[in-house]
Amino acid sequence: MERNFIFVLSFVFPIAIAFAQEKNPGPIIADYGAVWEVPDTDYETRTNGDLKVVFDIMNSPNGLGEPNKSIETAARFLNMHAKSGIKPGQMKVILVVHNKASKDILTNEGYQKRFGMNNPNAEMIRQLLDVGVQFVFCGQSSLSRNIPIEETISGVQLALSAMTALIQSQNDGYRLIKF
């Protein structure tokens, strides 16, 4: 009986340790983008080249006051790859924002004016901008949703359209990630 118990524990204990770990943010974006550490992967993470990615950010949470998880994906991308040995300078990240997500790049003042509260994404976006992530706002969404570029967080760039920014960034070697 005791031998069977030890035999079972030899399988359960490593699994329990693996599930006991916690997601942790950083090292690039300290307050957002927590990720799991994944030891002993079979598919190699190459650390010798650049990772150029463009995220298509069009959706937003239904409830006000909730951070946009699609925007946080960029923080997760940076943090998990940095933890895997990829240098920050090797990662080039663009977020193309349009459609429902347009409100998520408003300044706190603009968000307050429209929704009566601070933008729950403002600090996360500031941290992403501070490490060189580009935010490109669709000019068509700007006009159709009455969100002038002046009411967006400083550093957000205005494009003719999301389609234009997505095509041009892919032509420049960025790979599209759409969630």
pLDDT values of the chain reduced to their tens digit, one per residue, 179 residues: 555 555 554 555 455 455 568 999 899 999 999 999 998 899 999 999 999 999 999 999 998 999 999 999 999 999 999 999 999 999 999 999 999 999 999 999 999 999 999 999 999 999 999 999 999 999 999 999 999 999 999 999 999 999 999 999 999 999 999 87
Task: Note the pTM of the prediction, 2 decimals.
Answer: 0.87
Beta bridge partners of 51: 91
CA diameter of the chain: 73
- The amino acid that residue 98 corresponds to is H
pLDDT of the residue at 179:
76
Q: What are the residues whose beta carbons fall under 8 Å from the beta carbon of 166, sequence distance 6 or more?
A: 54, 56, 96, 176
- All domains of the chain in start order, with CATH: 2-37+49-177 (3.40.1260.10)
First-residue to last-residue Cα distance in the chain:
50
Please give the distance of CA 99 from its chain centroid, rounded to a whole number: 17
Report strand pairing: 175-177 vs 157-159.
Answer: unpaired
Q: Distances from the Cα of 114 to the Cαs of 12, 42, 108, 119, 130, in angstroms?
A: 52, 48, 10, 10, 26
Q: Which of 68, 90, 94 is nearest to 175 (CA)?
A: 94
pLDDT at res. 141: 98
- What token pair was written down for 150? 């002046």
